[in-house]
Chains A and B, each alone.
Chain A
Amino acid sequence: MPEAPTFAAPTESSILLPFAGTRREIAEYEATGGYQSLRKAVGMTSEQLVDEMIASNLRGRGGAGFPAGRKASFLAPGEDRYLVINGDESEPGTFKDREIILRNPHMLIEGILIYLWMIKGAGAYIYIRGEYAKEAAILEGAIAQARAAGYIGQPLLGTDYVPNVYVHRGAGAYICGEETALLSSLNGERGQPTAKPPFPAVSGAFKKPTLLNNVETVATVPVIIGMGGAAYAGIGTEQSTGTKMFSLSGHVRNPGNYEMPLSATYRDLIDGKGGGLPEGRTLKAFVPGGSSMPILMPNQLDTGLAFEAVVAAGSMAGSGAVIVVDDRTCMVRFALRTAEFYKHESCGKCTPCREGTRWITELLRKLESGLGTTEEIDLLLNICDRVEGNCLCVLGDACAMPVRSHIRNFRDEIEEPVRLGRCPCPDDAPMADLYPPLLRAPLPLVHAG
């Protein structure tokens, strides 16, 4: 069956995916210049490659935006060092890595090989989200092709270095996108974060020094090596260079993935690429970087997509998942749905996250059902304060930050169920179906063992 053309057309600024459709075959990829950056990289030393990365000022695309070149320079020396690629893309609203793997898997493989050559790694593991079965198969296929073409499993391009690349599928835990939890899972342990130090750069995969990068970060490397770090740094802003994939979803005419230069704004993305909101609806808020980030308001639409611009606006760019929220949306339910996700995904290791996400969720559910009080809304804010920053990893923050920002920005609306004794939203309001009418009855909050 022919594949439905579901992918957005390239934009004038596309350098990661400057084509329509897919290039899954290695022949297609090589015909358009594929694996040439790898050839160039093999002629360079590790230090030159790290310098090139530093010159590009590429910031990690997984969410934190840590400079990728500096990260590579931190890797501890050692005989066995590993590269791990984080493909556990699970943040609600984020589906950019999926697009890269579906459309251009060899770009990721090439990036991996450049990285491996840079660190002379003992192997690379692509930790891919368990639900991405098709994507894992595509990667396996691409690896097989690259192996057949002589890039993997044998001395690389006339050198004596033999790179190896493996795909490791997750088992459906959001927390395994967190680097230490990912490594625990990869090492065969329970997928839970561990305290740092030791940092992955010292003890990661198989307790060996490990460089861990997001799919998009690694896939960007062939572009940087191809065009040169300085040229790449010329795109975007001074502190946020290059282009980045943005996953646009929610109440917008043209949802999808868009590659944007980091000098663009949310208006360029939502109104420009996304075509604005559907007829008759107005913007109520938007999530700038994945559901764990504080929401931004319509008057902040001209905020830049650059990491520093979003921070200045009071939120974070995160993974680049932009969720558009229109005027019909019930913010109580939106907050509840968000909290519910993080409660469900909390790993249970540290106290504030394990207990706090559950408490937040149950209080929001009580509020939504009309049984809440205004004191409990203040309590929610206080719980968020006591969760945020006090956990072993940032999953607790990921629950606290959006809930707090929903309450702060929409306090009146959040209090409405208290005044009315029920959630005021019509049953056909967005997200109404998430919490069916049974919630109007007293809540079944007691969980049997």
Chain B
Amino acid sequence: MSATVPGTETVTLQIDGREITVPKGTSLVVAAAEHAGVEIPVFCYEPRLGPPIGACRMCLVEIEGAPKLQAACTMSCGDGMVVKTAETSEQAKDAQDGVLEFMLLNHPLDCPVCDKGGECPLQDLTFRYGPGNSRMTLPKRTYEKPLPISSSIVLDRERCILCYRCTRFSGDVAEDGELVARERGATSVIATFDEQPYANAFSGNVTELCPVGALLPTAYRFKARPWEIVNVPTTCTGCATGCNTWATLREGKVERILSRNHPDVDEGWLCDKGRFARYEPRDERIAAPLHRGATGLEPAPWDEVLSTTAKRLRHLQATGDAGAIAIVTGGALTNEEAHAWRAIADALKARTASAPVAANAAWERLDAYAAPLAAIDRADVVVVIGDQEPTDRAGTIDLRIRKARRAGAHLAIVGPGGTSLEPDAGTFARTLPGAGASVVAALAAAAVAVGGERVRADAPTAGSVESLAAQAGAAEELLGLLAAARAAARRPGLFVTDPVATADLEALGWALGLDAGDGGIVPLPAGANERGERAVGLVGGWDEVLAGLEQGTVSGVILVGCDTVVESADGERWQMALAQTDVVISVAAFTNGVTSQSQVVLPLDVEHEREGTVMNLEGRVQRVRPSLPPISGVSMLEWTARFAGFLDVATPTTAAKAFSAIAASAPAFAGLSWSTLGERADLHRTRPAAERPAAPAPAAPPAAPPDGAFRLIAPRPLFSGAAVERTDTLAHQRAPYVVLAREDAERLGIGRGDEVRVRHAAGEHVGPARISRRLVPGAVRINWRGSAAGTSATVGAAG
């Protein structure tokens, strides 16, 4: 065999008489499958869960010279090894029959009513390798079943074959330790720690890892049989990660979401939002055009609504200044839909806004320093900056950060604390809430001041570094870490979750030389396709539009797939501003904070109803495919084309045509074609050369709270949004909580689990207290359904 990479050490061995040469250290299971074309069946082996454990014993093979059979999963290929699998070894075959018989001894014969039936590894391997009958003559072991381990997952202990995949996921991948094995021997069972619900944000992955029907998603139980479903390959649009998924379609309904492993994006993991959240019930959806009449919002024919709206907007455009109309989006559109809205914006000379804050919107400028998601795996230093957990903006990135840390990367967290990553972080630099920008500015300044690789003429003075660093807490300590990493030619990665000015990040990337090598900056956008919307030209920040509305320079606004009242930290101002605006048009899936202020409301197509592409946070363009018809029967591409027609412009009515138009005009799509995007999209981006950025503007320190008030940390949580709020099985994931610093809790006499009420500008939040030793005192962290911020929250015991 010559298919080996030159320079890597290889070993030559024989499996079932076939000689193969593989890289040293290859697992025997993998070598057999990939190089010798021999299947060695497995149950517990799953490389994504860490080192093999050799528990199920399904992969026993005979190795010449070994005194007994060996588990192939825990064996590395050795030079000269002669391996006989069950295919050629009587002894291995007998052991394999034995293992399957043992597994099935107490496994119920309920395949006909088991949801796993038909797509069950145990069933498949029993058919392929099993002895065909059982010699078990005694009554089977029974357990109470099914046991809900959360509102999303049920456990059937009788079906469990104790492969420990789920507990290894919980312990070694998500690192929550919530799923455990209890008791021992034949009475071993899977359980949740202390009988608490399995509430990890990634819990649903265990339902896919489970090789039997023991862990099943509640929502999919008794819903479908594998032969009556169609799995549609698509991309999750729950956040900007862009995890690849299968949508399981049965009789016109998406019943289930499965991961479709893209190693460079999601590694086969999904968060529970992506897996379980549904825009249901469909009959509560806005399914037709509505316009405000005498009795409120009333359905009206498409053409009537679109033509009237076009006329009104034309009138506004004619009477106002350029930019009197604003089209506001929030990453909910496909690139093709965004392209249509760009054309409409041009026709109306409208301004656009696609991200909450303009200053951090131009993340494309960071492309010279950008790192792909997969680079996290190889990072030596991982720095997370911001108030928010990365999970909240890009679900599965959390698992990648943990994986990097387990592999030896130094994890540094810079933020106010109270998140789940700090306990295992090598460095935790505590800052005030909202200090992300100061941190980055201080780091950039300090990097220059201590003689970073690229000293600028306008280097700040030592004094300004000190004051910036003081605002930022332990920035200098962090900088030392980064400098050491650079010096050792290693690869730092930076993850930014806060609204941080692009210019500051650019300055930092420049000062640290992050444009060279494998590492870099990974900004985490707020909207799922925020980056794609910008790439087709919907640029600008909500904050600019809000200011325009308040100043009266914007008199008409179209809000497409974004609820700025809930999703913006300035929700209250949005509400007041929209109430005074002449023309408010919204496109929404459900009635929400902005539809109630709109004169016209149009139906929004959501995931599984759209054909097109989206761009993830790396810039990877991926396909989304429809499983269902558009909610109104007319797709957004079709009705925007009609609307554009009333404005005398033409837009494509199909995604393929729209994509061609985008590829021809938008640089980020150059060279891409609709037909070659494929199911596992590559990242088609090249790093532009870094240019010396302008000096960062001094960041304003976060304002001090009034006496007795708390600084509020309420970034939009992962488990929020219209779909999450309507999904019953996610009830436990969105259950409110309040995180208080230990000092504050003691002062207020609040104990762990006590109900706490937090009043803030956007509303009132009541939940059980979590006490954090790391959260900065004087701050309170809540999982508010929207975005909120401020320095005047009040905290007190509820009741």
Query: Scoring A residues 192 to 234 as 1 if CB is less than 8 Å from chain B, else 0, what string do you get?
Result: 0011110000000000000000000000000000000000000
Q: Are B161 and A386 in contact (CB under 8 A)?
A: no
Given A359-B105, A445-B139, A447-B141: A351 and B54 interface contact (C-beta under 8 Å) = no
Q: Are B139 and A446 in contact (CB under 8 A)?
A: yes
Query: Scoring B residues 129 to 142 as 1 if CB is less than 8 Å from chain A, else 0, what string do you get?
Result: 00000011111111
Which of A49-57, A78-86, A340-348 forms part of the interface with chain B? A340-348
Given A355-B102, A389-B69: A376 and B137 interface contact (C-beta under 8 Å) = yes
- CA distance in complex: A207, B69 (Å): 27
Given A348-B162, A359-B136: A354 and B188 interface contact (C-beta under 8 Å) = yes
Instruction: Give A325-370 interface residues, CB cut-off 8 Å to B.
Output: 343-352, 354-359, 362-363, 366
Q: Are B189 and A449 in contact (CB under 8 A)?
A: yes
| Chain A residue with the shortest CB-CB distance to B56 | A351
The residue from B55, B98, B105, B137 contacting A350, defined by CB atoms under 8 A apart: B55
Query: Scoring A residues 149 to 192 as 1 if CB is less than 8 Å from chain B, else 0, what string do you get?
Result: 00000000000000000000000010100000000000000100
Query: Scoring B residues 99 to 120 as 1 if CB is less than 8 Å from chain A, else 0, what string do you get?
Result: 1011101100000000000000
Q: Are B103 and A357 in contact (CB under 8 A)?
A: no
Instruction: Give A378-415 interface residues, CB cut-off 8 Å to B.
Output: 379, 383, 385-387, 389-392
Given A195-B71, A350-B56: A355 and B95 interface contact (C-beta under 8 Å) = no
Query: Scoring A residues 18 to 48 as 1 if CB is less than 8 Å from chain B, else 0, what string do you get?
Result: 0000000000000000000000000000000
Give the Cβ gap from B187 to chain A, nearest Cβ, in Å.
7
Q: Are B187 and A447 in contact (CB under 8 A)?
A: yes
Interface membership of B488, Cβ < 8 A: no
Contacts of A359 in B (CB 8 A): 102, 105, 136, 138
Interface membership of A4, Cβ < 8 A: no
Interface membership of B400, Cβ < 8 A: no
Interface membership of A448, Cβ < 8 A: yes
Q: Are A358 and B56 in contact (CB under 8 A)?
A: no
- CA distance in complex: A445, B137 (Å): 11
Give the Cβ gap from B100 to chain A, nearest Cβ, in Å.
9
Contacts of B98 in A (CB 8 A): 352, 383, 386-387, 390
- CA distance in complex: A387, B54 (Å): 15
Contacts of B99 in A (CB 8 A): 351-352, 386, 390
| Chain B residue with the shortest CB-CB distance to A198 | B51
Q: Are A390 and B60 in contact (CB under 8 A)?
A: yes
Q: Are A392 and B54 in contact (CB under 8 A)?
A: yes
- CA distance in complex: A85, B207 (Å): 41
Q: Are B141 and A446 in contact (CB under 8 A)?
A: yes
- CA distance in complex: A359, B138 (Å): 9
Q: Are A449 and B143 in contact (CB under 8 A)?
A: yes
Instruction: Give B141-168 interface residues, CB cut-off 8 Å to A.
Output: 141-144, 157, 161-162, 164
The residue from A173, A346, A391, A448 contacting B186, defined by CB atoms under 8 A apart: A346
Which of B177-185, B272-280, B723-731, B763-771 forms part of the interface with chain A? B177-185
The residue from A195, A347, A389, A445 contacting B68, defined by CB atoms under 8 A apart: A389
- CA distance in complex: A354, B161 (Å): 10
Interface membership of B57, Cβ < 8 A: yes
Contacts of A350 in B (CB 8 A): 54-57
The residue from A343, A348, A362, A363 contacting B188, defined by CB atoms under 8 A apart: A348
| Chain B residue with the shortest CB-CB distance to A344 | B185
Query: Scoring B residues 272 to 305 as 1 if CB is less than 8 Å from chain A, else 0, what string do you get?
Result: 0000000000000000000000000000000000
Give the Cβ gap from B33 to chain A, nearest Cβ, in Å.
19
Q: Are A348 and B141 in contact (CB under 8 A)?
A: no
- CA distance in complex: A269, B68 (Å): 33
Contacts of A392 in B (CB 8 A): 54-55, 57, 71
Contacts of A352 in B (CB 8 A): 57, 98-99, 102
Contacts of B751 in A (CB 8 A): none
The residue from A175, A343, A379, A449 contacting B157, defined by CB atoms under 8 A apart: A449
Interface membership of B52, Cβ < 8 A: yes
- CA distance in complex: A389, B60 (Å): 10
| Chain A residue with the shortest CB-CB distance to B145 | A449
- CA distance in complex: A345, B56 (Å): 18
- CA distance in complex: A390, B188 (Å): 20
Q: Are B164 and A358 in contact (CB under 8 A)?
A: no
Interface membership of B424, Cβ < 8 A: no
Q: Which of A386, A387, A391: most chain B CB closer than 10 A?
A: A386
Give the Cβ gap from B403 to chain A, nearest Cβ, in Å.
18
Interface membership of B126, Cβ < 8 A: no
Contacts of A175 in B (CB 8 A): 184
Q: Are A390 and B138 in contact (CB under 8 A)?
A: no
Contacts of B181 in A (CB 8 A): 190, 348
Contacts of B105 in A (CB 8 A): 355, 359
Q: Are A386 and B55 in contact (CB under 8 A)?
A: no
Give the Cβ gap from B142 to chain A, nearest Cβ, in Å.
6
Contacts of B186 in A (CB 8 A): 343, 346, 348, 354-355, 357-358
Q: Are A386 and B94 in contact (CB under 8 A)?
A: yes
Contacts of B634 in A (CB 8 A): none
Query: Scoring B residues 162 to 206 as 1 if CB is less than 8 Å from chain A, else 0, what string do you get?
Result: 101000000000000000010111111100000000000000000
Give the Cβ gap from A182 to chain B, nearest Cβ, in Å.
15
Contacts of B427 in A (CB 8 A): none
- CA distance in complex: A173, B184 (Å): 10
Q: Are A449 and B142 in contact (CB under 8 A)?
A: yes
Q: Which of B53, B103, B186: most chain A CB closer than 10 A?
A: B186
- CA distance in complex: A447, B98 (Å): 23
- CA distance in complex: A343, B184 (Å): 10
- CA distance in complex: A386, B103 (Å): 13
Instruction: Give B30-64 interface residues, CB cut-off 8 Å to A.
Output: 52-58, 60
Q: Which of B60, B98, B102: most chain A CB closer than 10 A?
A: B102
- CA distance in complex: A195, B51 (Å): 10
- CA distance in complex: A362, B54 (Å): 26
Contacts of B157 in A (CB 8 A): 449
- CA distance in complex: A347, B68 (Å): 21
Q: Are B136 and A349 in contact (CB under 8 A)?
A: no
Give the Cβ gap from B143 to chain A, nearest Cβ, in Å.
4
Give the Cβ gap from A172 to chain B, nearest Cβ, in Å.
11
Give the Cβ gap from A90 to chain B, nearest Cβ, in Å.
14
The residue from B69, B144, B184 contacting A347, defined by CB atoms under 8 A apart: B184
Contacts of B71 in A (CB 8 A): 195, 392
- CA distance in complex: A343, B141 (Å): 14
Q: Are A351 and B55 in contact (CB under 8 A)?
A: yes
Give the Cβ gap from A148 to chain B, nearest Cβ, in Å.
38
Give the Cβ gap from B370 to chain A, nearest Cβ, in Å.
35
Given A348-B181, A358-B186: A391 and B57 interface contact (C-beta under 8 Å) = yes
Q: Are B95 and A390 in contact (CB under 8 A)?
A: yes
Interface membership of B74, Cβ < 8 A: yes
Contacts of A356 in B (CB 8 A): 102
The residue from A351, A447, A448 contacting B102, defined by CB atoms under 8 A apart: A351
| Chain B residue with the shortest CB-CB distance to A362 | B138
Contacts of A346 in B (CB 8 A): 184-186
Contacts of A351 in B (CB 8 A): 55-58, 99, 102-103, 161-162
| Chain B residue with the shortest CB-CB distance to A376 | B137
16 example contacts (A-B, Cβ-Cβ < 8 A) are as follows A195-B71, A197-B74, A343-B185, A344-B185, A346-B184, A347-B188, A348-B181, A348-B186, A349-B164, A351-B103, A351-B161, A354-B162, A359-B138, A362-B138, A387-B98, A445-B138
Interface residues, chain A, with chain B CB atoms under 8 Å away: 173, 175, 190, 194-197, 343-352, 354-359, 362-363, 366, 376, 379, 383, 385-387, 389-392, 445-449
Interface residues, chain B, with chain A CB atoms under 8 Å away: 52-58, 60, 68-69, 71, 74, 94-95, 97-99, 101-103, 105-106, 135-144, 157, 161-162, 164, 181, 183-189
Q: Which 9 residue pairs of A and B lie closest in terms of their CB atoms, listed nearest first?
A: A386-B98, A348-B188, A346-B185, A358-B186, A449-B143, A355-B102, A195-B54, A389-B68, A195-B74
**With A345-B185, A349-B53, A386-B94 already in contact, 17 other A-B pairs whose C-beta atoms are closer than 8 Å:** A195-B53, A195-B54, A345-B184, A347-B185, A350-B54, A352-B98, A354-B186, A355-B103, A355-B105, A358-B185, A359-B105, A386-B101, A386-B102, A390-B98, A446-B139, A446-B141, A447-B187
